[in-house]
């Protein structure tokens, strides 16, 4: 199994896990009340963010594109015709969200976490396209 295939599989696993958790996260109070749910959701969201960053960087690198930061890594995906600019732009906040979860976890706005759990569609599209691109190269 290649590096990219492993990360795509892990991304799929965490997205499915977040979708299964979503009914238990009706609002911020559910995350504030249940530390196990809080940690479970945050870890999966953090993992999803990092995996998307890593995958986007790998795809950009395969095309010889360089970038200076995570946000630029998403922008490097745009020249691939399958990646529509409007929804690639929806991925850009993942880099900031990842940084907030890691560095500002005490002051993290749980409502934003709830919104992130409800906004997985662009990531699912990214996963589908990245998986298709990888299967074309095998």
Average pLDDT over residues 122-134: 91
Q: Is the pLDDT of residue 51 over 70?
A: yes
- Return mean pLDDT, the chain: 88
Q: What angle do CA 74, 75, 78 make, to 5 degrees?
A: 105
Could you state, in order of their start, the residue ranges of all structural domains in the chain? Answer: 3-137
- pLDDT per residue over 62-90, tens digit each? 878 777 777 777 766 655 667 777 777 88
pLDDT value for 20: 98
SS (H, E, C) 23-48: HHCCCHHHHHHCHHHHHHHHHHHHHH
The listed CATH number (1.20.120.580, 1.10.760.10, 1.10.10.10, 3.40.50.1220) that belongs to domain 3-137: 1.20.120.580
- pLDDT per residue over 89-118, tens digit each? 888 888 889 989 999 877 899 999 999 999
Average pLDDT over residues 17-22: 98
- The answer to whether the pTM exceeds 0.85 is yes
């Amino acid at each position: 199994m290649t590096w990219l295939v492993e990360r795509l599989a892990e991304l799929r696993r965490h997205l499915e896990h977040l979708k299964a958790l979503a009914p238990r996260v009706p609002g911020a109070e559910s995350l504030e009340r249940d530390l196990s749910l809080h940690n479970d959701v945050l870890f999966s969201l953090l993992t999803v963010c990092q995996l998307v960053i890593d995958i986007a960087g790998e795809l950009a690198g395969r095309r010889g594109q360089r970038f200076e930061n995570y946000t630029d890594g998403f922008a490097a995906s745009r020249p691939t015709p399958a990646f529509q600019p409007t929804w690639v732009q929806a991925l850009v906040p993942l880099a900031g969200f990842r940084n907030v979860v890691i560095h500002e976890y005490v002051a993290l706005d749980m409502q934003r976490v709830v919104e992130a759990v409800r906004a997985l569609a662009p990531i699912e599209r990214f996963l589908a396209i990245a998986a298709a691109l990888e299967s074309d190269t095998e």
